A and B are shown apart, each in its own frame.
Chain A
């Protein structure tokens, strides 16, 4: 069954902390995305990738790095976390065609 799995589901860190959010998809999709969701805003694209080793900058990339180590795994890195990065983060995967992206269940990150 097609799936996108995010870990951890919840994370609390302090300002200046180092955080890695993980995403794994078992859909054989080429494209993977990291979004953040904040109240009053639609999902906003942070980084995305066309395949292993590829990285593309999204619309709100400041303060975030990402790495696509394999076709299945896409990581989002916050090296110096700030309170403004407190948010709900979603990973998604998609094939090249016009099918709907598949979303993970989200990671809720709190930066104190």
Chain B
């Protein structure tokens, strides 16, 4: 059973627009949640990590929220650029160390057009 669901599956936006990606999960325990960016044909690169019960982070044009009560996270990208075209993957870690398992979503494919 899929424990991390991402929506939408794919999204097309115009350069300069904002977008919001969603992640719902059922992983228990949920120690932390991380968002990764995966460029086509490349590995995953970490964008941000959320840890607290209700957490917010900001990393340049990327901002994210986490609500552990709702088991829900969002990734906001403001003023999108063509280079933001990628797959964004939500990952939930069930422990705070490498002994824990990472649970991966299938990703949201974002396409930014001129």
List residues of chain A with CB under 8 Å of any chain B CB: 4, 30-31, 35, 40-45, 90, 94-98, 100-101, 103-106
The answer on a CB contact under 8 Å between A42 and B104 is yes
Given contacts A42-B91, A96-B98, 17 further A-B contacts (CB under 8 A): A30-B98, A41-B106, A43-B102, A45-B102, A95-B98, A96-B97, A97-B98, A98-B31, A98-B32, A98-B49, A98-B51, A98-B96, A100-B36, A103-B43, A104-B43, A105-B43, A106-B42
Most buried by A among B32, B43, B99: B43
C-alpha gap A97/B99 in the complex (Å): 9
Nearest chain A residue, comparing its CB with the CB of B93: A98
Q: Which of B42, B45, B97 contacts A98 (CB 8 A)?
A: B97
The residues of B that contact A90 with a CB separation of less than 8 Å are 43-44
* Interchain nearest-CB distance for B99 vs A (Å): 8
The answer on a CB contact under 8 Å between A42 and B103 is yes
* Interchain nearest-CB distance for B106 vs A (Å): 5
Is B58 located at the chain interface by the 8 A CB criterion? Answer: no
* Range of interface residues on B (Cβ < 8 Å): 20 to 34
C-alpha gap A4/B42 in the complex (Å): 12
The residues of A that contact B36 with a CB separation of less than 8 Å are 100
C-alpha gap A96/B49 in the complex (Å): 16
C-alpha gap A99/B44 in the complex (Å): 14
Nearest chain B residue, comparing its CB with the CB of A98: B96
Q: Which of B32, B41, B107 contacts A42 (CB 8 A)?
A: B107
The answer on a CB contact under 8 Å between A4 and B97 is no
The residues of B that contact A44 with a CB separation of less than 8 Å are 104
The residues of A that contact B46 with a CB separation of less than 8 Å are 100
* Interchain nearest-CB distance for A105 vs B (Å): 5
* Interchain nearest-CB distance for B90 vs A (Å): 9
A sample of 29 inter-chain contacts (CB < 8 A) reads A4-B43, A31-B98, A40-B106, A41-B106, A42-B2, A42-B4, A42-B89, A42-B103, A42-B104, A42-B105, A43-B44, A43-B102, A45-B101, A45-B102, A90-B43, A94-B98, A97-B97, A97-B98, A98-B32, A98-B93, A98-B96, A100-B34, A100-B36, A100-B46, A101-B102, A103-B44, A105-B43, A106-B41, A106-B42
